[in-house]
Structure 1
Amino acid sequence: MATRALYLVVAAIGIAGSGFAAWWWQKPVSSPAVVPVVEAGRAQTGAAKPVSVEVAVVRTVTLRDEVQAVGSLRSRRSVVLRPEVSGRIMALHFRDGALVRQGQLLAQLDDQLPKAQVQQAQAERSIAQANHQRNQELVAQGFISQRSLEESAANLEVAQAKLALAQATAARLRMVAPFDGVAGIGNVHVGDYLKDGTDIVNIEDIDGLLVDFRLPERYQRQIQRGQTVRITLDALPGAQYTAMVQALDPQIDANGRSLLVRASLDNRNGPLRPGMFARISVELGLRSDARMVPEEAIVPQGNAAIVWKFEPATDARSGQVRRTTVQLGLRRDGWVEVIQGLESGDSVVTAGQQRLQKDGAKVQLFVPAAVGQPG
């Protein structure tokens, strides 16, 4: 019995000892020697590492303030010959694509009936003239009254009017060139019966050409008559022509809010043809102090644009950046004009902006950006 009680006491002591050992093992260790290591680690991770960036210098260049437009070449004068009356073609006096002179007869319609009417009117006028002349002599001698003389004068006027009408009717059957130019390709042949208004041939004056183009209404004060514009054509790559502004439409197009401009250019013995597609460059000004930065430096931010301005330290290979709002102007070949916000010689970040979070961030230069010169 005593032995059994002893066993129970030993078992209770063993269980209690195991529980105490487990509690002691799980107790957090607080060693003074470890604290400096942890604190040192925290201090090391709290130090910000400089961000590697690329920068470019703001350059000052001479910049042409230009606006681009498109248009089509037109003849200085152009007309399509059409008969005013119906009739059959009796003769054609032009060759397709040949030069024609002002007043040259190009097409003749059948005029036999009008010619007969002219002859009849001429005969009636001759009779009226003779009667009126005889009456003048008789009145002078007192054989007839003044009223008879007035009637003969009126008859002469009627005969002259009939002759003029017959001649005008005959002239409408003759189609002549209204100006010097080049005949197009004819659409009719001798013997064809034409109704009034049928196209016969077009005449083009291509010694001088016109080009019409439209500009946004905000440029209406910057363009004026006599100003020169540059023209290039897709059909003639590499060639450039100069035209002069001839007229400005006094009315702004309400649909597109644009201004219609007409320019003229000399084409004597030139290769240009009406209908060619033209690209027009209008120079509105020339600035010799334009500040340009690479497009990569611009960071859109809402409706504004910013750049990260680099402020070098003493070693010039590291420094800090500042967020700067800029006002942009023209774009040329990967470069952007900065109107406000930067000065010539400033440096801006062109790569690595996505890792910049706040003003004063520490940076170090990686490799200077390799970009071309602004155009």
Structure 2
Amino acid sequence: MAYKKKYAVMALVGVCAASGVAWWAQNKSAPSGDAAKPAVSAAPGSGAAAGPAKAPAVEVAKVETMTLVDETQAVGSLRSRQGVMLRPEVGGRVKHIFFNDGQRVRKGQVMVQFEDQLQVAQLSQAKAELSIAEANHKRNQELVTQNFISKRSLDESGAALEVSRAKLALADATLQRLKVLAPFDGITGLKQVNVGDYLKDGADMVNVEDIDAVLLDFRLPERFQAKIRAGQKAQLTVDALPGRPFSAIVQAVDPLIEANGRSVGVRGCIDNRQQQLRPGMFARVNAVFGSRENAMVIPEEAIIPQGGRTFVVKVVAGEKPDTLVSERVAVKVGLRQPGKVEIVEGLAAGDTVVTAGHQRLQKDGTAVRVVDLSQPGGGKPAGGPAQAGAPAGGASAAASTNGAAPQGTKSSASVAPAATGKPGAPTNKVALTGPNPCLRGADAAR
């Protein structure tokens, strides 16, 4: 029993000794820790003595100005400005074919000639009957003046003359129907008939396509029907010709909204005198409704949707020197581009907004530290309001620190229509002479 009490007393003494050593070590290190605090507070550009060490770090970006293009994407297909399948009006046997596959033809050119022996004979007969009728009528006119025949005989010969003329016109029209003519200038397709074939009326012979200008048909959602109008430009690319942008002029907008898809039909025209495009091609369309110069934009990360409204957090100068605080502002957004949002109301060019760290800013007036991730030592606090205005972190990392803003010009080029293209890039600009066929009237096009 005495042995156990001895070891219990020794253990109690050991615990007391360890506690005393720990208390002494803690009291000795406290002065050195207090001396280090002023060094942290005295960091250059840190602001108040105790605030900056606890201020939340945020990333910011400046409100930029750039040119925004109001546009939307769609898919469409190409078709000929004029296209027709040639078919005979009457049946008959093919006598001659006056074209080759893929040949350019002119309006009124004879394409196919049918057997016409019978019709030629009927025309000759009609001419002979007309000659006799004219001679009889002339003779009757002379006899009436001499009172050798009655006036009724002269009227009968005149009527017979008119009948003979009508028969001649009918025979000539029947003969002409055996010639199939090109209805307009164009290019023939692949012929589907041969010499000697007997064709019924309405049988397919060959298609003729006018592709000096091709039409672009596409559809847009009904919400764009108030924006799209004739005369606007649409940029397009085709999968068959990658890397070659084309430009179309909107010619007409369908007044009828399709009930099934709630979309509106749009038709554009493309100058195709270089024959690069073909009817039936699939096209990716970028319809351009307009553009706005000097539009104010911010990174989309800065937008805070809340309760049906849109907010951003501005970084402004605090009441104390060299301090930055947060301020929540309601804004009205406009167009959206990849990574960018237009601000219509609520901000001014040059304002600084928070792009990362919103969750740390629960109320207005919160002191913040601006972190510039674009610098080699990322995470280093910015040194005051002048530096806080410079873009920092994320989408604004490419901005310069001297206040110059080449970003706006660069972004404008990125959202400009594809029709601008690159120098030397192949486009559908034609080197041919003459007016653009898409700008000519419908009558002139024919």
Whose strand fraction is larger, Structure 1's or Structure 2's?
A: 1
Aligned equivalents of 1:284 and 1:75: distance in 2? 25
Instruction: Give the CA RMSD over aligned residues.
Output: 2.8
Query: What's the counterpart of residue 310 of structure 1?
Result: 315
Aligned equivalents of 1:209 and 1:226: distance in 2? 16
2:331 to 303, 326, 330: 326
1:211 to 196, 216, 228: 216
Aligned equivalents of 2:200 and 2:244: distance in 1? 45
Q: Tell me, yes or no, if structure 1 residue 166 matches structure 2 residue 190.
A: no
Query: What's the counterpart of residue 178 of structure 1?
Result: 183
Q: CA deviation at 1:147?
A: 0.6
2:278 to 273, 291, 295: 273
| Deviation sequence 1:231-271 (CA, Å, 0-9, x none) | 33333233233333333444454555544433323222341
2:98 to 73, 93, 103: 93
Opposite residue 284 of structure 1, the aligned amino acid is: F
1:116 to 115, 121, 145: 121
SS at match of 2:125: helix
| Deviation sequence 1:3-55 (CA, Å, 0-9, x none) | xxxxxxxxxxxxxxxxxxxxxxxxxxxxxxxxxxxxxxxxxxxx994333222
Aligned equivalents of 1:242 and 1:346: distance in 2? 38
Query: What's the counterpart of residue 60 of structure 1?
Result: 65
Q: CA deviation at 1:201?
A: 0.8
TM-score by length of 1: 0.77
Map 1:197-236 onto structure 2 (within 5 A): 197-217=202-222, 219=224, 222-236=227-241
Aligned equivalents of 1:164 and 1:208: distance in 2? 38
The answer for unaligned runs of 5 or more in structure 1 is 1-46
| Deviation sequence 1:132-173 (CA, Å, 0-9, x none) | 222222212211111111111111211221222222222222
Opposite residue 51 of structure 1, the aligned amino acid is: P
Aligned equivalents of 1:122 and 1:319: distance in 2? 105
TM-score by length of 2: 0.66
Q: CA deviation at 1:222?
A: 4.7
Aligned equivalents of 2:321 and 2:284: distance in 1? 50
Q: Tell me, yes or no, if structure 1 residue 262 matches structure 2 residue 267.
A: yes
Aligned equivalents of 2:142 and 2:248: distance in 1? 69
Is the 2:232–2:289 Cα contact (8 Å) retained in structure 1? no
SS at match of 1:196: coil
Q: Percent identity?
A: 56
Please say which structure displays the higher CA radius of gyration: 1
Query: What's the counterpart of residue 125 of structure 1?
Result: 130
Q: CA deviation at 1:103?
A: 1.3
Opposite residue 245 of structure 1, the aligned amino acid is: V
Query: What's the counterpart of residue 370 of structure 2?
Result: 365
Aligned equivalents of 1:117 and 1:325: distance in 2? 89
Aligned equivalents of 2:359 and 2:145: distance in 1? 114
Map 1:135-174 onto structure 2 (within 5 A): 135-174=140-179
Aligned equivalents of 1:238 and 1:119: distance in 2? 62
Higher deviation after alignment, 359-368 or 325-334: 359-368
Higher deviation after alignment, 319-328 or 146-155: 319-328
Opposite residue 393 of structure 2, the aligned amino acid is: A
Opposite residue 146 of structure 2, the aligned amino acid is: Q
Query: What's the counterpart of residue 45 of structure 2?
Result: none
Opposite residue 158 of structure 1, the aligned amino acid is: V
Query: What's the counterpart of residue 3 of structure 2?
Result: none
Higher deviation after alignment, 262-271 or 225-234: 225-234
